[in-house]
Amino acid sequence: MSEQTAIQPLYAKLMEKFPESVVMDERPGFGGIVVQSLNLVEVAQELRDNLGYDYLSSVTAADDFPEERLEVIYHLFKSVGGAPALLKVFLGRTEPVVPSLTPLYPGAELQEREVWDLYGIRFANHPDLRRILLWEGFDGFPLRKDWKEPLYEEDVKPYKSRWPEGKGERKELLNPYKDNVQYPREFDPSTWTGDVDQAMYKSLEISDDGNSRALKTDQLVVNLGPQHPSTHGAFRMAVVLEGETIVNLKPVVGYLHRNHEKIGERNTWLQNMPYTDRLDYLAPMSNNFGYAITVEKLMGITPPERAEYIRVMMAELTRIASHTMVTGFLLNDLGAYFTPALYALEERELILDIFEEVAGSRMMVNYFRFGGVARDVSPEVLKKIRHLVYNRLPRKIDELDKYIAQNEIVKVRCEGVGVLSADDAIAFSTTGPNLRASGVPYDVRRADPYSIYESLDFDVCTRDHGDVFDRYRVRIDEIRQSIRILKQVLERIPEGPIMAGKPQYLAKVPAGEAYGRVEGPRGELGFYVVSDGKPNPKRYHVRAPSFINLTSLAQMCKGAKVADAVTILGAVDIVLGEVDR
């Protein structure tokens, strides 16, 4: 594997400094540097300060059951582009503890909480280690391989009850409660006093000391959400206010935690494809893209040229649809209720029509396959796309931009609001338009090119102020660049097959691990998969950009007015399907 050879020089450098505590992961198909848990912080510090790995992309874990071992896996990148540094820490299964990297990389905060929540790995020195996707008091750590959900049937699909005979046994009828629930022994509901929010309120550090100010005031906690028109779904912000000014803020997520990863590890490789649609449901095509290229990395296949062009075409159309919609909804959040969104949705509908024609569904496209795409694009569809790209979209985007960017109220509400400096943006592992609006020209399509992006001509759009207005402008610029990409793709798209080899139901994936990433509309969408050569992934992790972008939300909101929190959240652009997975 090329990534394994790329990591060799780095390993040599670390070996010089920490000969005792680093070793290569020698398992066939695997790579990365295994670090002793005791020295993790020093190694990370060396990587960050002296070797340039300033961007912590992903923190996750894996369970090597039945071996008595858990792994914590870190993917570090340089913000100037290039291959990853892959760090691993091996831990025992009972009471695993690893030092937290949050003091070095604040972007690890939410991800480490997620690992604690789902794997029960404790992070020492983490500032606020609580459950994140589930709730305080939940029984067990669900992603451990020996933890079984209430409707557990078998370890892997296809289940014998469904295939090949299909006996159709309903699992919940065997459960004593006839429902998707299970309780530990000796649990007595009448004595249950657990308050799921207590720990969260405690972590907000509300001070009742009002004496230091001229006017004695109390701090006030306001919950925005989970049912709130501005939260774009079931999302909650607990905000500490002093008057109208935000003193502290904690995002509370998990209201849409649909157990993607647990279900994904039971599914076959291909069965996961439609599930990825439902991650970031505003951009299903780019989710497909990320998953497909990751598994293709493991399988060692490349799609034929026409398929690559179709993939890029669909991914860029998705980006346009998603960015226009977000722009419309940002205006919703500013109080310009629904009329601007109607302009945005009009263009999105036309793109959805194309998706419906090529994939059969407006939103949940399930269009990509390992080694190609599911169906070919007909000349009529190409004609439609041509019309959109050459005639309609450039004109409509200019129109939308004119209405918004020259609007005095929009400017006053957005300029200088929610500022994130370039250094902070990198430290918080922010990705996508949010990172580029802070002036960091980091785009996976350029930093770590995949598919045919290397041969395409486009600019990485950046702005300098890192405020809400710049995030909006980066999105509009990116739509224009996407149109530019689409024009080149439409000119060059070749004839030919759309699948490498025959389409197969059970993909044969050799043992090993792979981390694939694409630049989705919300930023770096990564998939970390581990295969043990069986028809199902052993580990399936989604590095969700909007989840990690939330890490910096508190930083952006502190000191702003409470009404601005809504605007800032709108510009961060989260999709709850992806945040909670």
Site residues, other proteins (CB under 8 A): 133-135, 137-139, 142, 149-151, 153, 171-172, 176-177, 179-190, 192, 194, 196, 226-229, 232-234, 254-259, 262-263, 266, 274-275, 278, 281-282, 338, 341-342, 345-346, 348-349, 362-364, 576-577, 580
**Beta strands in 285-421, from DSSP E residues, in sequence order:** 368-369, 372-373
CB of 183 to other proteins, least distance (A): 5
* Between 191 and 211, CB nearer to other proteins: 191
Number of other residues whose CB lies within 10 A of the CB of residue 374: 17
CB of 501 to other proteins, least distance (A): 28
CB of 142 to other proteins, least distance (A): 5
Number of other residues whose CB lies within 10 A of the CB of residue 497: 14
CB of 136 to other proteins, least distance (A): 9
* Between 353 and 532, CB nearer to other proteins: 353
* Between 225 and 466, CB nearer to other proteins: 225
CA angle at 229 for the pair 287 and 252, rounded to the nearest 5°: 65
* Helix/strand number for the chain, H first, E second: 21, 15
Residues 117 and 257: beta-carbon distance below 8 Å: no
Check residue 60 and report its DSSP letter.
Answer: E
- Look at residue 122 and give its three-state secondary structure: strand
Of residues 247, 243, 278, the one with CA closest to residue 260: 278
* Between 231 and 551, CB nearer to other proteins: 231
Three-state SS for 441-472 is: CCCHHHHCCCCCHHHCCCCCCCCCCCCHHHHH
Residues 100 and 72: beta-carbon distance below 8 Å: no
CB of 281 to other proteins, least distance (A): 4
CB of 229 to other proteins, least distance (A): 4
Check residue 401 and report its DSSP letter.
Answer: H
CB of 514 to other proteins, least distance (A): 24
- Look at residue 478 and give its three-state secondary structure: helix
The string of DSSP letters for 549-572 reads HGGGHHHHHTTSBHHHHHHHHHHH
Of residues 277, 278, 236, the one with CA closest to residue 255: 236
Place of tokens 């540097």: 33
CB of 115 to other proteins, least distance (A): 17
CB of 308 to other proteins, least distance (A): 27
Bridge partners for 562 per DSSP: none
* Between 126 and 278, CB nearer to other proteins: 278
CB of 549 to other proteins, least distance (A): 19
| 18-33: burial string, b at 16+ Cβ within 10 Å, e else | beebbbebeeebbbbb
Residues 423 and 550: beta-carbon distance below 8 Å: no
Listed in sequence order, the DSSP H helices in 7-97 are 8-17, 40-49
Rg of the chain over all Cα atoms, to the nearest angstrom: 24
Residues 238 and 201: beta-carbon distance below 8 Å: yes
CB of 312 to other proteins, least distance (A): 24
* Between 38 and 363, CB nearer to other proteins: 363
CB of 472 to other proteins, least distance (A): 19
* Between 80 and 196, CB nearer to other proteins: 196
Q: What is the dihedral of CA 63, 67, 70, 74, to 10 degrees?
A: -80
* Between 188 and 495, CB nearer to other proteins: 188
Instruction: Identify residue 149 by its one-letter amino acid code.
Output: E
* Between 351 and 514, CB nearer to other proteins: 351
Check residue 148 and report its DSSP letter.
Answer: -
* Between 158 and 226, CB nearer to other proteins: 226
* Between 145 and 258, CB nearer to other proteins: 258
Whole-angstrom Cα distance, residue 327 to residue 336?
12
CB of 375 to other proteins, least distance (A): 19
By the 10 Å C-beta count (0-12 exposed, 13-18 middle, 19+ buried), 259 is classed as middle
* Between 124 and 181, CB nearer to other proteins: 181
Residues 301 and 501: beta-carbon distance below 8 Å: yes
Check residue 137 and report its DSSP letter.
Answer: T
- What phi and psi, each to the nearest 5 degrees, are found at residue 553? -60, -45
CB of 253 to other proteins, least distance (A): 9
Residues 435 and 442: beta-carbon distance below 8 Å: yes
Contacts of 72 (CB under 8 A, 6+ apart): 59, 60, 61, 88, 89, 91, 98, 115, 121
CB of 151 to other proteins, least distance (A): 5
